[in-house]
Structure 1
Amino acid sequence: MNGLQLKSNDEKRESRREITSAIEAQDGMGFKPRFSKRPTIPPPPLILDHEKDIRVPDSINYCLRSYQRDGIRFMYQRYRQRMGGILGDDMGLGKTVQVISFLSAIMKKTGKRTDLDRRCQHINRLFDEGKRLRRLGEDQSVDEHLPPPNDRWPTCLLVVPSSLISNWKNELETWGYFEFAVYQGDRRSEVVRQFRMGRLDIVLVSLEILRSPAGDALFDLGWSLTICDEVHRLKNCNRESLKAASQIECDVRIGLTGTALQNNYEELWTLLNWANPGKLGTKQQWNHSISSVLKDGQSSNATPEQTARRDAVAKGVKEKLLPMYFLRRDKQEIADQLPRKTETIAFCPLTQMQKAVYRRLLESEDMQRILRAEDSCECGSGKTCGACCCPVDKGMILSYISTFIKISNSLFLIVPVLGDSPDALVVNRKLTETLIPGVAPAQLQHAMWCEPENYCGKWKVLVGLLNDWHTENEAFQIQEGQKSVVTSQKRHKVLVFTKSRKLLDFIVSSLASLAYTTEVISGEVVQEDRQRAIDSFQTDPNVFVMVITTSTGSVGLNLTAANKVIIFDPDWNPTVDMQAMDRAYRLGQTRDVEVVRLISSGSLEELIYQRQIYKMQMMMTIYDAKPQTRYFEGVQGDKEKEGELFGVRNLFTLTEGNTEMRIEEARYRDEVWLNMAALEKRLHGSKGIDLKKSLIDDFTEGAVKKAENHMKKIEKQLRKHGVASMVSGQEVAMDSEKWSILQSRKRGRKSSADKKAQTSTPSIEWTAPMRLRKMTVAHSQDLPAGRAEMVLSD
């Protein structure tokens, strides 16, 4: 049958019995990893190179998923060809396991105890041979007789963030018998000596040590390859980290990251160029041929020619460039093993006090100086004010950005309190005297503790959500009993993330007054206490909330006991917020996860959220080559096209909030454009359609009216329900087209996506959560008459 010899059912059963017997025999041979769960039908051997017999040990291969095997093959192909590469899988897909499997294969590990001390035994034999030669009169020292460390088996320098050293040590010990050491502390010189002698497979070093003078000793030791975890930390071309990582002498460099692109397209070039120096041209060539084309084509003002060029370049990057150097998979690979995640964006109005302080700061002398920096100088020099009579320091701008973000979250952040650093006390006293005159700091503190909702527009939403969820927990107890196992499994548990340690302290203290049992993780919590807090949250049904600083807890933590996540303040980098959500939404989660992200409407935070949308769409454009809805006019890095996103004037302003309107308008415009283009193509066979501006204006007017009708419905809901009513409906584990098909089939009818003749909107798109057109109100206080702040939900 086409030259294939098919096995009979009896032969298949016999083959499975042989593999099963081999698996059972592993326990007596000390195989690693030692997991109790094993596949019912063992997979075929994972052989990477038949000629050299390079294969992943069966004990590891049994535990791998198919996409992980593909990742291992990708790394091996790069290694065999002496090329570098970036494994850019989403968090939670097992990049660590893929790396360990790959290293096991190229180092010809078996997974048995015989791998233990293999190198040491080999070196001892060489020492004995050296001593024998000396006795025979050979003029050669024992050390000179030793070959290079990677002569028989490859060697690896594993560069990781200091916070992940312990995790990598645990994983290496779990998945195999590796001879490795950590280059740190007083043992650094001993680690180098042992490596030079050939006694080590792997040396672990933190990125912090590598870029210090102590890291110089590792640059030229004879590495077969370098693997850098969280390689996106090298994204800045001028950083010491990149310079240090580029000085390591080896043939192959492999980077691991779930966020290869965080802020701009140049970051991706930096990582790819580190892995394959000089093979992607210069940074200027990348900017000219790729970055600028993609950014110009994403603007809402882009011409049809610019969008066409964007689509062509994105397709070329995805299909021709990235496959050689970059492999990325997302959570769709494990969608069948994850529950649903819904995400709600809550636009929370500032309180009257916050607005007053915000405006007072905008009207300050220094702030006006910053805003006039780009204007022509009045002295007639022809220069801008900032470059002439009124120079503006970049540090001043950053300081004001930080202050406006604090005001957007809570006025508590600008009040001097016990625990502030000496410098912070001075700054906060000055801010309080200037922005809240006539009130002593002690009085402000007391007022904020007693009535936090007057000084923080997000407070009512936070406390309201927690009260609702806690009330549901109490209802579960009444229905099913205090000691019921089902009850503890149903109980809501909440993660609250904030960037500010000071705000974290305020939240924790306030929640204690509400009698909520709370755990805390921040940079000040030592590792032992941190693990105790994690264990308590995961296992104790009475622990309701865990409050975490985003910088500390957004990576490396498994908190699947939580089914609710609140992002109190957004990060400029959208991937930081995504990683925080993934503490709960990951493999091992059995319940649907609800995420609520709080945004202070009209403030700098709303611009931060808009930048998040922009950056996430950049990622999707270059990763998947899918056209993204063009929400914004602004073009990153182009001073002539700053639009509504970029530039100082967009940073420092107070608006009534317009993100939701822009999203609705852009979505409506693009949907009509696509539908009209499809109709024109069917009628006349043309490839596109040239819509007149007047027609677009009609579509915009229709979108505005549609949004206004939604707002009227929301106001009616407000009167009926009072404070907050949060809705959501985004299934992020699968793309929107698949979700549409699934839901339609559940209703027993075909969806438009099922019909071949139907031209649909792009199937993979990162948008503000809008596809289900659901909107609701954050809270009813402080709303202008006739207008409601909205929560947009997919």
Structure 2
Amino acid sequence: MQKIVSEHEERVRKLLSKPFKIPVPGYQLSGRVLGLRLPGPRRPLHDPNDPNALIVYSPPELSEHERLKIDSCKQLVHVVVDPILCNVLRPHQREGVKFMYECVTGKRIENAYGCIMADEMGLGKTLQCITLLWTLLKQGPEAKPLIDKAIIVAPSSLVKNWYNEINKWLNNIVNTLAIDGGKKAEIDTKLLRFMKTYGGRCVTPILIISYETFRLHAHVLHQDEVGLVLCDEGHRLKNSENQTYQSLMGLKAKRRVLLSGTPIQNDLLEYFSLVHFVNQGLLGTAQEFRRKYETPILRGQDAAATDDQRKLAQERLSDLVSVVNKCLIRRTSALLSKYLPLKHEFVVCIKMGELQTRLYKNFIQSESIKRSMEEDDNPKKGGHLSALAAITLLKKLCNHPDLIYDKIMEKSEGFEKAAQLLPSHYSTKQLLPELSGKLMVLDCLLASIKTTTNDKIVLVSNYTQTLDLFEKLCNKRSYNYVRLDGSMTIKKRSKVVENFNSDTSSDFIFMLSSKAGGCGLNLIGANRLVMFDPDWNPANDDQAMARVWRDGQKKTCFVYRFLSTGTIEEKIFQRQAHKKALSSTVVDQEDDVARHFTINDLRDLFKLEQNTVSDTHDKFKCTRCVNGIEVKGPPEQSDCNSDLSEWRHSHNPRNLPDISLRQCWASGISFVFHHRSHEHIK
């Protein structure tokens, strides 16, 4: 009896003496203890000797003597990017993270802690910024985080996108507060809670907020300091006078990062606003900037400039570039060619239909237009048609007469005598593609793509009325389609995009209003895109065109821009080239952006150039084309980022690299500029 008890006793004691085991299967202790600092010297958070480690800060080398003297608890340590992010960064992204880290820690410019991440679209700006954010929140040279919390300000359509991206790349290991709309009092409470949390143990260290909400609740956000502010689509801050800019400037944040794939949209002063936002005073005041840089540079860029003006412009430009390059990093999408499939870009000039031409001439020769031209020179008060309204009407007419049918019926200004030009029985109920040159080509292109490939296509227009036309065309030809414009909620938007990109989706066409869908959308389910009408702002067009040729795309891409030959559309396109020349001079430093257009050229908008296959090509005074034949190819190093004069010029369909476009030539194409993204290596 005694023996049994002792055996039992022994067994129980043995069981009790085992250390406690956590009952959750697969759970491992981190080895860290709350509130207890480990003794011994400071250590970096991640191993700097790891073969793939990205070290953004290395402490200064110490001699043996200095090492003996220094207190091991005060020794600086390496700052190494977290391996979960490091392993997914591409070489250019690693370089970008290091550059931004050096900027926000004041290493590149003394007492300046801001930077502009101006990589072109598709290079992964979001991932680079998340990496920077996570590194600053978790570590620093003194073995403690450099910042407690950060604010990301983005357009409302991208707030959810940022939230998803942070969770995706960081595997949900950080709490994020995303705010876009809601009751004012509730938002104030949430923001107050965020602002009043201090110390290294911030429960929710990241706030994502839309520009609009930020402006409305600035009084709460201005109360305390924030470690870092990050502004996405930063070209919204191009006007230093507006309220959004002012309310962001009032934020107590010395570290500022601004993301923008398009730093210059309209002029150099906007560019100044962006640099001034991240590093106040770096370029002086707005007046000093205008006097020292803007005026001489613009004078030197005009095609009519003297040699002295060009020389001065060049000097001032190199001064500006050397100052700004310390806090701006920009890589062009040429880098992407290593990772992305080939892209063919086409600028397609299309003759207007007969009815369009008659209506166009009737409008530009009308008394109303002549009056509005005089008024622009000599503004008097009067209810006449403004030049801008006239431009919009002409752009709509270039798309299809249906878009201005109401104005014709109302006999509104410029269309007083237009009704008699319409054929009898004209009706907008049934769509007639034959009445529009561009719509005929589109109709033919879609039919060819549908029957000869299994590609999907994105159609982009500036006008929702044009999207209505596309819908009618799809119904007429029984194509499956989805449509995204400003009326669609953000939540529904992401579902529609996700569904379109899936292989199982039967949708053939994705319709997009360029204002609603330009920024941040990922439509890699399609590999063809048509820009049906040009925008005044090249950045809007470029944003829309980067929807398909981006990370994750596997097929060869085809991007088509439609222009009505000799019309206002070609002239808008030429104006875009002027803006692009401005942007690439400062940001990309392409020295020889051809000075094809004098500023006076841009004033003849209301002329219809009739006897031409392409007004833009005529303006180049192209030396590579003789009697309608391109006798000399483009320069070897050129690609679709080059100036248009260095693209291929096609006067006939013979050498077009896209079979579908060749089949459409007879529908009314008069001329095509085309080029590829990079040399295809077989």
Same fold (TM over 0.5): yes
* 1:526 Cα deviation after fit: 3.4
Q: Which has the higher helix share?
A: 1
**C-alpha distance in 2, partners of 1:505/1:470?**
20
Give the match for residue 165 of structure 2.
171
- CA 596–426 in structure 1, closer or farther in 2 if over 3 Å, else same: closer
Counterpart for residue 432 of structure 2 = 451
Match of 1:325 in 2: 327
Deviation at 1:444, TM superposition (A): 3.4
Distance 2:384 2:278 in 1: 33
Q: Residues 432 and 511 from structure 1, CA distance in 2 versus in 1: closer, same or farther, beyond 3 angstroms?
A: farther
- The answer to whether residue 117 in structure 2 is matched with residue 87 in structure 1 is yes
**Match for 2:450 among 456, 459, 470?**
470
2:437 is paired with a residue whose SS is coil
Say which SS state the counterpart of residue 529 (structure 2) adopts: strand
For residue 485 of structure 2, the aligned residue among 499, 522, 525 is 522
1:566, CA displacement in angstroms?
0.8
Deviation, structure 1 residue 432: 9.7
> Offset of 1:262 from its aligned partner?
1.2
In the alignment, does 2:316 pair up with 1:352? no
Task: Find the residue that maps to 2:458 and give its secondary structure.
Answer: strand
CA deviation map 1:402-428 (0-9, x unaligned): 212111221111124xxxxxxxx8996
What is the match of residue 658 of structure 2? none
> What one-letter code is carried by the residue in structure 2 that aligns with 1:628?
D
**Cα contact 1:341–1:594 (8 A) shared by 2:** yes
1:404 and 1:579 map into 2 onto residues whose CA distance is 24
**Equivalent pair of 1:631/1:662 in contact (CA under 8 Å):** no
**How much identity, in percent, do the aligned residues show?**
25
2:301 aligned to which of 298, 302, 310: 298
Question: Could you tell which deviates more after superposition, 161-170 or 534-543?
Answer: 534-543
How has the CA–CA distance of structure 1 residues 546 and 331 changed in structure 2, closer, same or farther, with 3 Å as cutoff?
same
Following superposition, the deviation at residue 256 of structure 1 comes to 0.7
- Using the size of structure 2 for normalisation, the TM-score is 0.78
TM-fit CA distance, 1:585: 0.3
In the alignment, is the contact (CA less than 8 A) between 1:347 and 1:790 conserved in 2? yes
* Offset at residue 662 of structure 1 (A): 5.6
CA–CA separation in structure 2 for the residues paired with 1:450 and 1:277: 55
Q: Which amino acid aligns with 1:48?
A: Y
Displacement after TM superposition at 1:153 (Å): 4.1
Do 1:414 and 1:432's aligned partners in 2 also have CA atoms closer than 8 Å?
Answer: no
The whole-number CA distance in structure 1 between the counterparts of 2:613 and 2:670 is: 10
SS in 1 for 2:560: strand
Q: Which residue of 2 is the match for residue 776 of structure 1?
A: 652
Tell me the secondary structure at the aligned position of residue 116 of structure 2: strand
Amino acid at match of 2:115: G
Q: Which residue identity does 1:397 align to in structure 2?
A: A
- Whether 2:195 is the aligned partner of 1:210: answer no
Counterparts of 2:616 and 2:463 in 1: how far apart (Å)? 30
Aligned match for 1:533, one of 468, 480, 496: 496
Partner of 1:767: 643
1:352–1:782 Cα contact (<8 Å) kept: no
Output the amino acid matched with 1:708. Answer: N
Give the partner amino acid of 1:586. R
Q: Which amino acid aligns with 2:285?
A: T
- Of 448, 457, 462, the match for 1:494: 457
The TM-score with structure 1 as length reference comes to: 0.68
* Secondary structure class of the residue paired with 2:483: strand
Alpha carbons 2:457, 2:526 under 8 Å: kept? yes
**Corresponding position of 1:6:** none
User: 1:362 maps to what in 2?
Assistant: 364
- 2:627 aligns with 708
Greater CA drift, 592-601 or 429-438 = 429-438
- What is residue 66 of structure 1 aligned with on the other side? 91
Q: Aligned partners of 1:770 and 1:430: how far apart in 2?
A: 43
Is the Cα contact below 8 Å between 2:649 and 2:671 reproduced in 1? no
> Could you tell me which amino acid in structure 1 is paired with residue 190 of structure 2?
V
2:610 aligned with 1:656: yes
What's the C-alpha RMSD, in Å, of the aligned pairs?
3.4
Q: Find the partner of 1:415 among 405, 410, 427.
A: 405
> Residue in 2 aligned with 1:434?
416
Quote how far apart the aligned CAs of 1:257 are.
0.7
Task: Decide whether aligned partners of structure 1 residues 775 and 628 sit closer, same or farther in structure 2, where only a CA change above 3 A counts.
Answer: farther
**Residue 461 (structure 1) aligns with:** 441
User: Aligned ranges for residues 392-403 of structure 1 at < 5 Å?
Assistant: 396-403=386-393
Equivalent runs, 1:262-301 vs 2, <5 Å = 262-301=265-304
Change (3 A) 1:278 1:552: same
Cα distance change of structure 1 residues 249 and 427 upon mapping to structure 2, 3 Å threshold: farther
Change in 2 beyond 3 A, CA 1:366/1:782: farther
Specify which of 560, 577, 597 is matched with residue 561 of structure 2. Answer: 597
State the 1:85 CA deviation.
Answer: 1.3
> CA offsets per residue over residues 201-248 of structure 1, 9 Å max, x none?
122221011223x33221232112211111100112332221221111
Q: Specify the SS of the correspondent of 1:556.
A: coil
Instruction: Give CA deviations for 1:576-622 in whole Å, capped at 9, x if unaligned.
Output: 22221211101111111111110012221111100111111212111
Say if 2:191 is the partner of 1:182.
no
8 Å contact from structure 1 (residues 499, 550) kept in 2? yes
CA distance in 2, matches of 1:464, 1:501: 22
Correspondences of 1:374-389 after superposition (within 5 Å): 385-386=378-379
Task: For 1:583, give the aligned amino acid.
Answer: R
Quick check: 2:628–2:651 contact (8 Å CA) kept in 1?
Answer: no
- Report the CA distance shift for 1:369/1:45 in structure 2 as closer, same or farther (over 3 A): closer
Pair 1:789 & 2:670 matched: yes
Alpha-carbon distance, 1:62 to partner: 1.4
TM-superposed CA distance for 1:624, in Å, is 2.8
> Is contact 1:159–1:227 with CA below 8 Å preserved after alignment?
yes
Match of 2:375 in 1: 373
The corresponding residue for 2:35 is: none
1:577 is matched with which residue?
A: 541
Aligned counterparts of 1:426 and 1:658: Cα–Cα separation in 2 = 28
Q: Distance in 1 between matches of 2:568 and 2:619?
A: 22
Does the CA-based 8 Å contact 1:602-1:656 persist in structure 2? yes
Quote the residue 1:672 is aligned against. Answer: none
Q: 2:325 corresponds to which letter in structure 1?
A: P
Counterpart CA distance in 1 for 2:130 and 2:295 is: 38
Are the counterparts in 1 of residues 545 and 559 from structure 2 also a CA contact under 8 Å? Answer: yes
CA distance, structure 1, for counterparts of residue 556 and residue 621 of structure 2? 28
Q: Which residues of structure 2 form unaligned runs of 5+?
A: 1-25, 31-49, 60-75, 107-111, 654-660, 676-682
Assess if the C-alpha contact under 8 Å between 2:411 and 2:419 holds in 1: no
> Could you tell me whether the CA contact under 8 Å between 2:431 and 2:472 is conserved in 1?
no
State whether structure 2 residue 130 is matched by structure 1 residue 100: yes
| 1:174–1:315 Cα change, 3 Å | same
Tell me if structure 2 keeps the 8 A contact 1:299–1:632.
no
Equivalence for 1:78? 103
Tell me, in whole angstroms, the C-alpha distance in 1 between the residues paired with 2:638 and 2:605: 37
Q: State the number of aligned residues.
A: 586
Shift of 1:86: 0.7
Distance 1:281 1:435, change over 3 A: farther
Partner of 2:66: none
Counterpart Cα distance in 2 of 1:241 and 1:395: 32
Q: CA deviation at 1:273?
A: 0.8
Aligned residue number for residue 341 of structure 1: 343
1:408-459 deviation per Cα after TM superposition (whole angstroms, max 9, x unaligned): 221111124xxxxxxxx8996746973532589995334x7352322x2201
Shift of 1:398: 2.2
Q: Which residue in the other structure is 2:467 paired with?
A: 504
Match of 1:645, SS state, is: helix
Distance 1:336 1:151 in 2: 36
